Amino acid sequence: MKLELFLDNSLLEARENVHLSLPSPSIEATNLILNEKNAYFTILKDNGSYRLYFKETLKAERPILDEVTKMASSEDGLLFSRPQTVLHGTMSHNFYPVKHQDHYLGIGGYHSEEYPGYEGVFLYGSEDGIRWDEVRFLFNRANTCVSRDASIACCDCLNNMIFDGEKFVFFLRYNLARGVRRIQTCSSKDLVHFTAPQMIRFLNFDMPEELGTYTPTISRFPGSNFFVGLPTLQAGNDRPTKHPGLIFSRDGLHWTMLSTDYLSQFQRPCTAVAGIHSSDRNTYLNVHENSTLFRLKYRKDGISCLNGSAGYIRTKPVHLSKLVVNYSGELEVQLGNGLHTIRHTLNGDQLAHEIVVDEGEYSIQFTFKGASLYSMQYS
């Protein structure tokens, strides 16, 4: 089944009097209260439990060298255990773990007393997500298998790593100027050979030169072939003064800025700390003033919706054998194949309303009569 959220018009042939909105998620506070020493959070959901990994700086006078990676676990995503240290010292810098098949992989920057700069990025492995071993060196500034481009000014960490079933997709930070970071992407099928990185591009947003965008939160949206992200937008090395943005891409390179001030229901500056990547469609947010970690929960496939009271959208012809609609309100669905049109009237609030259809090529028209269309799935 293909999932479509209508975050751009690539599937649409026509659209009239319908607008995109970004519903506010529900918010719950976890029991974790952290501090300014903690950063670079990653949330993994594994076999029904949650694992939160984050960096802690032990000594302010040696912030790069004196770091550890800690992990806290939770059965419900709200009540976390006391954090335990899983990596020590230089190998734990900006550590980013993922679950891959039946084991864990992680990538982190490596520092040493002899080389006070960034020495490189290393691959780590673990059977249980707690005890980690170094697997091999990946790359650094001087000897990188990613690119010979000297403008890759930050190889101490990868913002995040995603396995899409065929290859690993990376989003790396890139120093455009002092204190101004941007995002680049590359991929690898074997974690040995990498494609050359490319700067991500916004199709509808001109990024001011002094503004940086930095995100460890890009994820492949569950059940889809597209990416979403919750980037931090900030000037220099200061903490962001706004809420995270919301971005969307079908290929990981070309992006649409859906909002530069997402989650504005928070009155205090905050940073998203995890992608929308688990089966229950949630993410986590750190509020700066008190460093409390909050969980944000979304309607299934409902980070966005199309709204209208007297408008419509019509898709390009697609092959259908099954159609499932996530909607609320009153919506008319018309399936046209050039010979005849089949009409269905929907009224209610359903996450997965299945419309019976004879297999074939159809153009789908949704006519809005005071409705919200969150998503459709089709095959």
CATH number for the domain that contains residue 187? 2.115.10.20
Q: Are residues 101 and 124 in the same domain?
A: yes
| Angle CA 64–66–69, to nearest 5 | 95
Check which CATH number belongs to the domain holding 356 and give it.
Answer: 2.60.120.260
Per residue in 289-327, pLDDT tens? Answer: 567 788 888 899 999 999 999 999 999 999 999 999 999
**Tens digits of residue pLDDT in 10-19:** 999 999 999 9
CA distance 277 to 329: 28
Q: Residue written as tokens 């789908």?
A: 364
Range of the domain at 166: 25-297
Same domain, 31 and 11: no
**Which of residues 277, 297, 317 is at a domain's end?**
297
Mean local confidence (pLDDT), 178-185: 78
Neighbours of 3 (CB within 10 A): 17
Does residue 48 sit in the same domain as residue 165? yes
Quickly state the pLDDT bin for 61 (edges 50, 70, 90).
low
Q: Are residues 15 and 29 in the same domain?
A: no
Q: What is the pTM of this model?
A: 0.87
For the cut 70, the answer to whether the pLDDT of residue 155 exceeds it is no
Q: Are residues 173 and 320 in the same domain?
A: no
Q: Are 320 and 360 in contact (CB under 8 A)?
A: yes
Check whether residue 274 and residue 200 sit in a common domain. yes
Domain shared by 216 and 77, yes or no:
yes
Question: 94 and 210, same structural domain?
Answer: yes
Check residue 122 and give its pLDDT.
Answer: 79
Q: Examine the fold and report which residue of 229, 263, 297 is the final residue of a domain before the chain moves on.
A: 297
Asked if residue 115 has pLDDT above 50, the reply is no
My answer on whether 291 and 342 are in the same domain is no
How far from 217 is each of 157, 231, 362, CA to CA, in Å? 14, 7, 36
Q: Are residues 8 and 69 in the same domain?
A: no
Distance CA 298, CA 375 (A): 13
Q: Is it the case that residue 217 has pLDDT exceeding 80?
A: yes
Relative to beta strand 49-57, strand 84-88 is unpaired
pLDDT at 41 over 60: yes
Q: How confident is the model at residue 255 (pLDDT cuts 50, 70, 90)?
A: very high
Q: Both 36 and 120 in a single domain?
A: yes
Of 235, 262, 297, the position where a domain reaches its end is 297
Mean pLDDT, rounded, of the chain: 83
Domain count, the chain: 2
Domain shared by 234 and 197, yes or no: yes
Handedness of CA 210, 182, 114, 145 (dihedral sign): negative
Q: Which residue has the higher pLDDT, 158 or 202?
A: 202
* β-strand pairing of 103-110 with 120-126: antiparallel
- Contact 101/164 with Cβ under 8 angstroms? no
Give the per-residue pLDDT at 152.
44
